Amino acid sequence: MEYRPLGKSGLRVSAVGIGCNNFGTSLDEAGTKAVVDKAIDLGITLFDTADVYGGKGNSEIFLGKALGARRKDIVLASKFGMPMGEGLALHGGGSRGYIMRAAEASLHRLGTDYIDLYQIHQPDAGTPIEETMRALDDLTRQGKVRYTGHSNFAGWQTADAAWTAKTCSLAPFVSAQNRYSLLSREIEADLVPACEAHGVGLLPYFPLESGLLTGKYKHGAAPAEGTRWAAWATRMPGYVTQFFSDEKFAQLARLQALCDAGGHGILDMAFGWLLSKPYVASVIAGATKPEQVEGNVKAAAWRPSADETVKIDEITALRR
């Protein structure tokens, strides 16, 4: 396993991380423990959860139990700021009062006295970023949080937060977690330059385009029962068009042909291409089976050649 610094910080994370959104929904406690055990056996240290995952905290509870005494050996990341029920309407998810309550609740559910990486899950337009960062700075000084990061920020928000931290002498954000994959490269326009300029490490989510880049879905064929696509088709049809459009299947076909010519799989390309980017610290991918964790770790060892990188860009790069 390769280990990388998270932005300009002293925190190092495994190149492959585990997204814990399946814990408490697709996976019960036993299934969660099986995935966590396999991940640790393979050298994965980054486990990324959130208070909203698994249905109001279940992911944090299941993860904390699965880690047990091994908690000290891993990098535990969680997020706050999305609706958890009562209170968000009164105090925004980035407000001081909300953050302090959310942090204590997450620490309790995780069964730990500190969180290695505490991230705001989405921007809070109703709260000044200085208020958010002062609250997080206090948690850092108290030892309850080691480092802080953000998720779903735009490039200008990343720059604004970096300026706020510098001018107010606050702990800076060291990570950005955004959607990023071979087939979703929008953040290259503004977020990536901002991260590079301010020393923020990128943690891509949806690196496999919700399964499209694993090769398990075929264009024109109905998704298998139990897959994410099948579930979204009835509950969140808007997501289906985001991930499984005709354009993305057309790009996938060209990428698959490139993989076939090079003698490797599309999963290798999905992980290896992301990890070839110096600003990517770790690729966060969910898993429901230990075998999927093994496959992800194996895929992460591959890197595209210079010629393959040019051809990938011809297929998927942003057109400016």
Structure tokens at 98: 């909300």
Q: Measured between alpha carbons, how far is 35 from 27 in angstroms, rounded to an integer?
A: 9
Q: What is the pLDDT of residue 242?
A: 64
pLDDT at 251 > cutoff 70: yes
Q: Band the pLDDT of 222: cuts 50, 70, 90.
A: low
- Among the residue ranges 221-230, 280-289, 293-302, the one predicted with the least confidence is 221-230
- Among the residue ranges 37-41, 248-252, 255-259, 303-307, the one predicted with the least confidence is 248-252
Q: Which tens digit of pLDDT belongs to each residue from 58-86?
A: 999 999 999 999 999 999 999 999 987 65
Please state the length of the chain: 320
Task: Give me the residue spans of the domains in the chain.
Answer: 3-210+266-304
- Burial readout 77-115 (b: 16 or more C-beta within 10 A, e: otherwise): bbbbbbebeeebeebbbbbbebbeebbebbbebbebebb
Q: What is the pLDDT of residue 245?
A: 76
Mean pLDDT of the chain: 91
Q: What does residue 183 show for φ and ψ, rounded to 5 degrees?
A: -105, 0
Share of the chain above pLDDT 90, in %: 82
57: left (phi over 0), alpha (psi -120 to 50) or beta: left
Q: What is the pLDDT of residue 235?
A: 58
| Mean per-residue pLDDT, 278-301 | 97
Catalytic residues: 53
CATH number for region 3-210+266-304: 3.20.20.100
